A and B are shown apart, each in its own frame.
Chain A
Amino acid sequence: MDMELIYLAIPLASLFGAIMAGFFGKAIGRSGAHTVTIAGVATSFILSLMAYNHIVLEAGDIYNQTVYTWMVSDGLRFEIGFLIDQLTVMMLCVVTGVSLMVHLYTIGYMHDDPGYQRFFSYISLFTFAMLMLVMSNNFLQLFFGWEAVGLVSYLLIGFWYKRETAIYANLKAFLVNRVGDFGFILGIAAVVMYAGSLDYKEVFSAAPQIANQTINLVGDEQWSVMTVICILLFVGAMGKSAQFPLHVWLPDSMEGPTPISALIHAATMVTAGIFMVARMSPLFEFSETALAFVMIAGAITALFMGLIGIVQNDIKRVVAYSTLSQLGYMTVALGVSAYSAGVFHLMTHAFFKALLFLAAGSVIIAMHHEQDMRKMGGLRKYMPITWITSLIGSLALIGFPGFSGFFSKDSIILAVGESHLPGADIVYLMVLAGVFVTAFYSFRMYFLVFHGEERMDQHTKEHLHETPWVVTVPLVVLAFFSVVIGWVTIEPMLFGEYFKDVIFVKESHNVLSQVGEHYHGQWAMIQHGIASWPFALAMAGVGTAWYIYMKNPQIAVTASQKFSFIYKMLDKKYWMDELYVKVFSDGSRGLGKGFWKGGDVAIIDGLIINGSAKLVGWFASVVRHMQTGMLYHYAFAMIIGLVGLLYLFASPVS
């Protein structure tokens, strides 16, 4: 079969499902909606596997071609095109695979929701958008996918549009992402300005020349063009991948239904930024300043967002903050030029974070949509499958040796240790500290939910039982991958040739090859891992969590009272929300109001619009009297026109 057709069919199959469920949802009914969307995504998934097979296993040709030229303007081509290489096929499999799981899971989770068809339409549409994003071979389509996933995310966070908090959350997500997208589109504009093309290949080949140019932004200071471009692009990534300080939307996005939290806010959409930076490695490599910026933003996110996770009581929010923290790890990896490690962690994280989310969702279903962990406990007796899979997910998350998270996270920490970027030492300490924090909050959640005394009310308790198979099957499948995926893929992805032609790393930045020198197989890594700091820290975290929440719950209360400032700071998320609301929202509202009163109402409406409309209206009413209806007036006008033109152009005098 022609590979081009397959590539084309991958996004279109999902789009077809979305259209069918969206526009003909009433006609095809609930079961029709999930059948058609799941069939679409399953098709995408199978075709993605075929693409994976073709590119990776059969070592087929990398596909980089334009499918459709939208328009050409001043030599700048606006196209839709696909770039299918090792990075793309990996993302394809992850996106379609997780999406398929989420689709299946949704049948159970959304079973009684009136917006059933709408929901399926959205998640299929999201899959389409994400596929377009990762398959793109140019910035235009990248931007299309980027905005489309943002839009669907907006729709899904506000899926329960009658809920006040959901509306607030989706607006917040949209606005914060706007900030990031503004940077992103400026970055694209800068790329177009200096490289004169939107095509990745052409831009990358022009990168070395761009690297030597400087730009004068403010005052007399000369900036490296590449630094400006990369930082702008990364601002976009900060919005999508929720990096500090644009992270504020992600925890609130938990207002959406849980499947969507798993799909968008854990596994796929938030990784778009990571993917993008990895894809742009040939640009980022030319600017150490931008790399350092990326690294520090990632480190801050990794550590400080994890800390917030400790004080959360909502089960989904804990997972959300853990997502933030893990995204920080990925970003750190990108910053130290260990792109493969970042992408590797992206993949492993996609599985275990989707798992954790779906498990949390399973708990929420069982608890009748109760999300407060303080009202749970001892659930392991009632929900064995959820319990085991959650444990696996948590172990993977904290990087327990042998689990997938271990391979990816340890590689990142090792890579940071090898980096020579300014600030790398502090960052190394921060990511190490992050390991402890991760372990602490993960197991805090685990213990609070599945162990200890049963704190739920009697009514809920009576109805507690394991969730149906559509919920548990995805859990088991994801749990399986959470265990093995790291073991299987670490060698080719990190130290092998997998990303050789895709990700470009300058020799001087190549921390992974230094890590690779000490790598002697998975077993060796596990053995080495057990004897290293991260493992000790993780175990310490688990132990602390056990001690505080199982053994001696009193400590938690005392600690929160004793360190009330710190507790409050974490509880208030460093007052970031308040700051944004006060400074940016109120400020811009005040500014807007000022402009509205002073500018809009007085000057624009009063003077320019109404005034000019009046003027034009008056003029029109005067001029229309020229149209008298009298024939000789008309003829006269023509003659005057003739005389005028003759006078101006055919006058022998002039």
Chain B
Amino acid sequence: MMTLEMLNLSIAMPEMFLLALACTVLVVDVYLKDSQRNVTYMLSQLGLIITLILISQQTPQNNEWTRELAFNGLFVNDLLATVLKYAVVLLVAIVFVYSRRYLQDRNIFKGEFYVLGLFGLLGMMVMISANHFLSMYLGLELLSLSLYAMVAFDRENPNAAEAAMKYFVLGAIASGMLLYGMSMVYGMTGSLNIVEVAVALDQMEGDNIVLIFGLVFMVIGISFKLGAVPFHMWIPDVYHGSPTTVTSYIATAPKVAGFAMVIRLLAESMGSFQADWQGMMIILAVLSMAVGNVIAIAQTNLKRLLAYSTISHVGFIMLGLLAGNQEGYSAAMFYTLTYTLMSLGGFGIIILLTRKGFEADNINDLKGLNQRSPWFAFIMLIVVFSMAGVPPTVGFWAKLAVLKAVVNIDMLWLALVAVFFSIIGIFYYLRIIKLMYFDDAEDKSEINCTRDMQIALSANGLSVLMLGLYPAALMSICIAAFS
């Protein structure tokens, strides 16, 4: 007989609350007039704050983190999950702040954006807490489905519809591959539970071709989600086609979920096949860094440029992951968390510059930003420096950490390749700075921006700098998450 206590529901409190919140927002929104959409917005933000509080309540009493299971082992909570959930909720909340004026200007300030955003967030949290292939897969689908809809959300925009279509089809292929890979592993081990799979694999002897076969499919599913070459093709089109707020959503929090996916699926369950997926990741990482950095140079659209920059950063995150030890994982986690922050800042600046009927997504729109707003030019400067990995911004520490992890597993050549491509990358980052500071503004119009967005964006940019000056705290959390 099963009782409710056995489900151990309390540790899934944030997820349950979030689900209730999403449903509430959905229902409330139906009864609101278009002029009252702010209520939806406020309700969502309030709910996210409560979710943050609930997540922080998850701290164990005696300060000793253990893996706590719920829902018959489908759900796990540990320090890693708590930290990552904290990050995704925070990121989504900031995206919501950035999005309000943008949506209003385009007459798409609809409740659905927030409802879908919240459901997508739920999907990410499910992925982060997955202890079972099924929950991982369902979380991924929940996230993806919300994202597809969000991309196509601006129906007047044919680009968005096209992007959504591409994303949907490719996403379906990728998730099919992931599922196929999982089924292979299930076939060999007889379990879908991550811990049980790991135990079963440990007992297996010799190379098992079927498992590696399944592993390849799983790696592809993950790579698609992260956007590693050659499974990156959707990224530029989707980033470009979607409304910029949706882009800022896709570019940030789901990356954290993707990181969790790698940790749960590859590190935790397929740990004994580390040598194999390490080899795959080396190829994907090198390709991502090469393609991302090189093609970014030829971009004139800022959103596409950031898309390729994302691809190259994914390559760096993979560098940390493929090290396959505590140092590598924590470095990759540090990289992921800080990168999402930079990315958020970059898209935040684009959103800041938009106005009714003007998208500001060409890199020439950044020209002379310093004359128009020295402060936000400075924020963008920090963000871009951080992406390029220039000290004292946090991007430098992130790159340093992953490179160190790679060097420590005796892959100096890989680190050198990474450095080489990041030097190429500096070219287009510097171009942005040159445009902002050394060119005259073509468009001298006032930057109109709400106070809450100004504060959030400033905090966003400054946090990139502050984390660069004081990286120790976040770094120690990342290390603790894997010890």
Contact = CB atoms under 8 A, between A and B. Distances in A.
A, B: real partners: yes
Given A69-B472, A71-B472, A620-B294, A638 B170 contact: yes
B295 A627 contact: yes
Nearest to A627: B236
Q: Is the interface of B mostly helix, strand, loop or mixed?
A: helix
Interface stretch (A219-227, A593-601, A644-652): A644-652
Given A616-B424, A631-B169, A635-B169, A642 B174 contact: no
Contact of A650 (B213, B223, B294): B213
A72 interface: yes
Contacts of A70: 470, 472
A633 interface: yes
A79 to B, nearest CB: 11
Contact of B216 (A613, A619, A633, A646): A646
A562 interface: no
A634 interface: yes
A512 B60 CA distance: 62
Interface stretch (B135-143, B226-234, B243-251, B370-378): B226-234
Interface residues of A, number: 29
A649 B212 contact: yes
Nearest to B469: A70
Interface in B249-292: 276, 279-280, 283, 291
A617 B298 contact: yes
B2 interface: no
Contact of A634 (B223, B234, B296, B299): B234
A619 B233 CA distance: 18
B334 to A, nearest CB: 12
B219 interface: yes
Contacts of A634: 166, 170, 233-234
Contacts of A652: 209
Contacts of B475: 71
Nearest to B277: A649
A503 to B, nearest CB: 34
Nearest to B162: A629
Interface string B295-326: 11111000000000000000000000000000
A45 B411 CA distance: 55
Nearest to A634: B233
A191 B438 CA distance: 44
Given A72-B472, A634-B166, A638-B233, A648 B212 contact: no
A616 B223 CA distance: 25
B237 A629 contact: yes
A71 B396 CA distance: 14
Contacts of B213: 646, 650
A652 B166 CA distance: 34
A644 to B, nearest CB: 8
Interface string A607-625: 0000001001101110110
A640 interface: yes
A72 to B, nearest CB: 7
A81 to B, nearest CB: 15
For A621, A627, A640, A642, the residue with the greatest tally of chain B CB atoms inside 10 Å of its CB is A627
For B215, B298, B424, the residue with the greatest tally of chain A CB atoms inside 10 Å of its CB is B298
For B170, B213, B216, the residue with the greatest tally of chain A CB atoms inside 10 Å of its CB is B216
Contact of A620 (B209, B216, B276, B297): B297
B295 A650 contact: no
B170 A631 contact: yes
B280 A624 contact: no
B58 to A, nearest CB: 27
B294 A638 contact: no
A637 interface: yes
B97 interface: no
Contacts of A648: 279-280, 283
Contacts of B215: 649-650
Interface in A55-88: 69-72
Contacts of A621: 298
Interface string B215-226: 111011001100
B230 A641 contact: yes
B294 A616 contact: yes
A641 B231 contact: yes
A70 B470 CA distance: 7
A140 to B, nearest CB: 14
For A621, A623, A624, the residue with the greatest tally of chain B CB atoms inside 10 Å of its CB is A624
Nearest to B296: A620
A642 B470 contact: no
Contacts of B470: 70
B395 to A, nearest CB: 16
B73 interface: no
B161 interface: no
A641 B220 contact: yes
B166 A645 contact: no
A617 B424 CA distance: 10
Contacts of A619: 294
Contacts of B169: 631, 635
B471 to A, nearest CB: 6
A627 B215 CA distance: 27
A542 to B, nearest CB: 56
A623 B279 contact: no
B230 A649 contact: no
A645 B283 contact: yes
Contact of B297 (A71, A616, A641, A650): A616
For A71, A631, A641, the residue with the greatest tally of chain B CB atoms inside 10 Å of its CB is A641
Nearest to B279: A649
B203 to A, nearest CB: 21
For B166, B230, B234, the residue with the greatest tally of chain A CB atoms inside 10 Å of its CB is B230
Given A646-B213, A648-B283, A649-B276, A638 B174 contact: yes
Interface in B369-418: none
Contacts of A640: 230
B297 A617 contact: yes
Contacts of B174: 638
B279 A631 contact: no
Contact of A627 (B177, B233, B471): B233
Nearest to B291: A623
For A69, A621, A638, the residue with the greatest tally of chain B CB atoms inside 10 Å of its CB is A638
Contact of B294 (A71, A72, A623, A627): A623
B7 interface: no
B173 interface: yes
Contacts of A646: 213, 216
A618 to B, nearest CB: 9
Given A69-B472, A620-B294, 5 more contacts: A613-B427, A624-B299, A638-B230, A641-B220, A650-B212
26 contacts: A70-B470, A71-B471, A616-B294, A617-B297, A620-B294, A624-B298, A627-B237, A627-B295, A629-B237, A631-B166, A634-B166, A634-B170, A634-B233, A634-B234, A638-B170, A638-B224, A641-B223, A641-B231, A642-B216, A645-B219, A645-B280, A646-B213, A648-B280, A649-B212, A649-B280, A650-B212
**A-B pairs with lowest CB-CB distance, top 7:** A634-B233, A620-B298, A641-B230, A650-B213, A650-B212, A620-B297, A637-B230
